[in-house]
Structure 1
Amino acid sequence: MELKRILIVEDDADIAAIERDYLELGGYAVTIAPDGTTGLDAALHQPFDLILLDVMLPGIDGFAICKQVRAEKDIPILMVTARGEDVDKIRGLGFGADDYIEKPFSPSVLVARVKAHLAQYARLKPCADTPKTITVGPLTADPAARRITKNGVEVPLKNKEYELLFFLMRHPEQVFSREDLYELIWGLESMGDNITVAVHINRLREKIEDTPADPKLLQTVWGVGYRLHVV
């Protein structure tokens, strides 16, 4: 079986080597790009299954790389951020990153996160028994095309935005906590950090609600979580 290919874009040679060694021990084929320019070129022109992308890079920063890659490819992107830098996390998720991992991190945790994202990505791909379309209120999902429309107009969604909204469309009116959604969509147990889910919910509201500040479709159930309401 062909090994899954991981691209590490990291300018710190020591960190990149540790990441590579543990991922290779985990059964992955790893390529290291030592700067943003090299990383962007590799990400766009070589076939990788997942990208591990540092934020601060020489040449081109991780945010710009994430934005360009996400516009052309549908693969998991994990941003590597400094611990506590919530602004970087939110920016990265806004540019289309699937998730983030904080420095310093345990190499074994890194491998587990990579494995979980690859597995979840494969699991959420359309399969033979996936319905052709799903309609909830003004929203219609076409799983084969990974496209969702509102009143016939396509909603421009990034990777995890689509997966989150599609999941909620398959379970209308059902309430899910942030922790539940993180585990179900990202394939990982929540570690008490709910920024990832909250950012994706807010971005979805900006795209599907007539008035994002007063959501009618993607509602908050205070103290519990979120639900997709059938209008």
Structure 2
Amino acid sequence: MPRILLIDDDEHLAAPLASYFARFDCTLDSATRPSEGLARLRAAHYDAAILDVMLPEMDGFALCREIRKESDIPIVMLTARGDVMDRVVGLELGADDYLPKPFEPRELVARVQTILRRQRVAPPVAASPQRRVFDGLAIDLDRREVLRQGEPVELTGTEFELLALLASEPGKVFSRDDILNRLRGHEAELYTRAVDIVVSRLRKKLEPLDCIKTLRNAGYALAVGNA
């Protein structure tokens, strides 16, 4: 049963959400302060974390940054209603998805289920072979491991799935909308800026390799030779 940690200072939110998540065979634990949340993440295994932006001690962005120093656990950010900058900043810091407040519990469950599914199952488009080796880059789809010039690279679930998708057909241009639809696995509000942010994060982690190419007004492609 997946175990999720909610970090939100709204004391009235956790109990009803926990009951709702239980209907979908998920355990939802909660913490009202970032320090408590970090302690829980370090002490026990969690499959995903849900972070509110407005928190005491430190905001959700700083908390996301702290978590990313230690873990690639999937993260969903709960952002201010209609505040695009919250979404942008959260994604830039390594969050996997966002959901504006107020939200419907069913949508939150759906977002969490989607990122958990991405963690467990390699995308169908990249199902075979399970190891892809290029010039300076190796991607193991079974182990969800990436080597850059022989050195391991720590990627978030979303970053890995994006790289696996691009590597499934090297040279093919994937549009931003196509990437969002393929990675989320269900119809959702398209937010193309999110793709640009994840690509930017991925490029930095793959440096000095310059293997993700941008085609203006078209999308992204993996441009690297087979080893």
1:119 aligns with 2:113: no
Q: 1:123 to 1:229 in 2, by over 3 A?
A: same
Q: 1:143 to 1:115 in 2, by over 3 A?
A: closer
CA distance in 2, matches of 1:145, 1:114: 21
Q: 1:150 to 1:43 in 2, by over 3 A?
A: closer
1:68 aligns with 2:62: no
Q: Secondary structure at the match of 1:56?
A: coil
2:166 maps to: 168
Q: How does 1:60-99 map to 2 (within 5 A)?
A: 60-99=58-97
Structure 2 counterpart of 1:171, one-letter code: E
% identical aligned pairs: 37
Deviation at residue 221 of structure 1 after TM alignment: 2.9
1:17 aligns with 2:31: no
CA distance in 2, matches of 1:104, 1:82: 8
1:226 aligns with 2:220: yes
Q: How does 1:62-211 map to 2 (within 5 A)?
A: 62-124=60-122, 131=129, 133-143=131-141, 146-208=144-206
TM-score normalised by length of structure 1:
0.82
C-alpha contact (below 8 Å) 2:119/2:157 kept by paired residues: no
1:217 maps to: 211
TM-score normalised by length of structure 2:
0.83
CA distance in 2, matches of 1:38, 1:130: 42
Segments of 5+ residues of structure 2 without an aligned counterpart are none
Q: Secondary structure at the match of 2:13?
A: helix
2:37 maps to: 39
Deviations for 1:145-204, whole angstroms, at most 9, x for unmatched residues? 544344445545333223311321222012222222123223333412223212011222
Q: 1:159 to 1:48 in 2, by over 3 A?
A: same
2:5 maps to: 7
Q: 1:135 to 1:61 in 2, by over 3 A?
A: same
Deviation at residue 144 of structure 1 after TM alignment: 5.4
CA distance in 2, matches of 1:142, 1:120: 15
Q: 1:170 to 1:111 in 2, by over 3 A?
A: same
C-alpha contact (below 8 Å) 2:72/2:154 kept by paired residues: no
Deviations for 1:202-222, whole angstroms, at most 9, x for unmatched residues? 2223344669xxxx6322233
